[in-house]
A and B are shown apart, each in its own frame.
Chain A
Amino acid sequence: MHKNIILKIIEHRIITLIAMICIVMFAINGSFLSFTNIISILMKISIEGIIVIGMAYLIILGEIDLSVGEIMGLSCFFVIFFQQFGIVPGVIAGIVCGLAVGIVNGILVVKAKLPSIAVTLGMMIFLNGIIFVLTKLDSISGTNPAFSKIAVTSIAGIPAFIFVMIILILIFELILRKTSYGRNIYAVGGNAQASKYANINVDRIKISAFILTGALSGLAGVFLVSRFNIASGALGATTPLFVITAVLIGGVSLSGGEGNVFKAFQGLLLVGVVENAMIMLKLYSSIKLIVMGLLLILTLIIDSIHTAKEIYK
């Protein structure tokens, strides 16, 4: 009986950890669990939350994308440029720009058979340069006041962004669980060679995941512009660190074939709660960098021990 409870806790360790932090923070400062603060945590992670979906797909496939932050930054520029023609052109421009970069990433990785980590690293630096060129090393902002209204739209006191994030997470979790496409993703991530023999179109699945990640990063840029009305080359620098940390903490293994979108979101939630707690405890933002880095390193070590156990079982 006790053993079962312990096993359950280990299985749901992220949720347990989040609950523990919430309880401690609630004891220190009662406003931590207030409606406003919970909304502010969710709002804070809603931008990265969208990218996390794509990144989870990629990591389950055994690939990675380091260029997500810069795709978001580039999307911000296009959103700001096209919003003068209206809200819809702005939103479409952001998503299409991310989609285009995702196609290039995917083709380079799949067709040229290059390691995704190297391709997306090069893409990250390249896009960063493009943003600097487009914004002339400055930060720019849009002129369409209607665009900022998206961010403040809320339903029953809950901002629309949070709804969009939750709906997207549900949809993509369902696709992963219930469709053959989703099952193929696990198969390819577990063993790409075997999947090829099983007549799965590995190339197409991998490219689709890169395109999905690109498009979602583009959508994140739409959210970012709507909230902060800014585009600059400095926006996406820490985004890949944040997103990858969240996905790995959630228990999606870097070796592929394991994890799901819910787990990745739990990781993101943990990172968001820790970040919020640190702000409430008035810790410097530089301490945040240390904690984020240490969290990532620890997760990597735990992930590796876990994988080793699976192999030698």
Chain B
Amino acid sequence: MNRIKKFTKNNPQLTLLILLIIIFSILMPAFRGKNNIINILKQSTTISIISYGVALVVIGGNLDLSVGALLSLTLGLSISMSMHNVALAILVPLGFAIVVGFVNGYIVGRFRVNSIILTLGMMSVINGIVQTYRKGNIVIGMFGGAYQAITDAKVFGIPSYIVVYISIAILYQFILTRTVYGRQLILMGTNRDAAEIAGINIRKVTIISFVICGVSVAVASILMGARLLQGSTNTGAGLEFDALTAILIGGVSIEGGKGNILNAMIGVFLLAVIINGLTLLNVPFAWRNVAKGLMILLAILTEQFLRTRNA
């Protein structure tokens, strides 16, 4: 009994997730169906990969709000490049994402600007670029080509995209907890001035975190493009807030320095299970943002409450 108490105290988010899964499974037979579980995993591919990237940035004490707009950009690029060559469909979005990540990271690292406001501006710039060059049109990919094969591939019977996002989670978790870079990132998120005095190259660490975030978005958009073969100019709108909601309710602190990729993963599944449960309970679509906003507010409130209690 004591061990359960200790577990719930140390992992409040995971406990909540398990509780919700149990409650929903008892209440709704449709929830525990195999198809629904696969559906939840499938639908959370994009948001998972993006959340892991954003989580790294947030742990470093910054925030990237341009990921949604970046996804719209790289998704369109990937699909239109897939008409020529699959390699281009992978490399071009990655290239653009690295550039955007670098610019974000450089400005934040070099000029110490507020990353939230900066990436809000970047979001506007990228949205403008996407709308200008696509003029509001939808890009449609070719059916049955080599591009689509990216998602049809299976590893040991598991769809490739699920394999990709789980391996990305493991990779990022490794980077964060087992490498020098990861420690520097956590220290920078906890106390930027102390990190600077300790001789950490703030500029480099910041840039790398934003570039990893950009690359995550590009990977997510390639998988999404190959699966849906279709992208509009605002496919990514709102994704930045979904990713933020997920990592905050998973237990990554918005103040930086606290949390890891496992937290982000739990957050994504919490969000997915709650939204899925709301859908199965026939709650109208309009209530979704109400739930998300409340979850963000509750997450930061509980985190603050726990911190003051422990302190």
Contacts and interface: CB of A to CB of B under 8 A. Distances in A.
Given A125-B245, A292-B124, A293-B124, 7 more contacts: A126-B292, A132-B289, A137-B285, A254-B114, A289-B131, A291-B128, A294-B121
Interface stretch (B11-19, B152-160, B293-301): B293-301
Interface residues of B, number: 43
Interface residues of A, number: 48
Interface in B234-290: 241, 244-245, 248, 254-255, 284-290
Contact of A129 (B111, B248, B255, B289): B289
Interface string B97-117: 000000000010001111011
B299 to A, nearest CB: 8
A121 B127 contact: no
A290 B124 contact: yes
Contacts of B113: 254, 300-301, 303-304
A185 interface: no
A121 B289 CA distance: 12
| Main DSSP-derived SS at the B contact region | helix
B215 interface: no
A97 to B, nearest CB: 16
A122 B286 contact: no
A168 to B, nearest CB: 25
Given A119-B300, A137-B285, A129 B128 contact: no
Interface string A277-313: 0000000101111111111110011011100100000
B111 A125 contact: no
Contacts of B121: 241, 245, 292-297, 300
A108 interface: yes
Nearest to B103: A297
A300 B132 contact: no
Contact of A128 (B117, B118, B293, B308): B293
Contacts of A133: 284, 286-287, 290
B228 interface: no
Interface stretch (A50-58, A109-117, A173-181, A217-225): A109-117
Given A115-B254, A296-B121, A129 B285 contact: no
B200 to A, nearest CB: 19
Interface string B126-137: 111101100000
B289 A112 contact: no
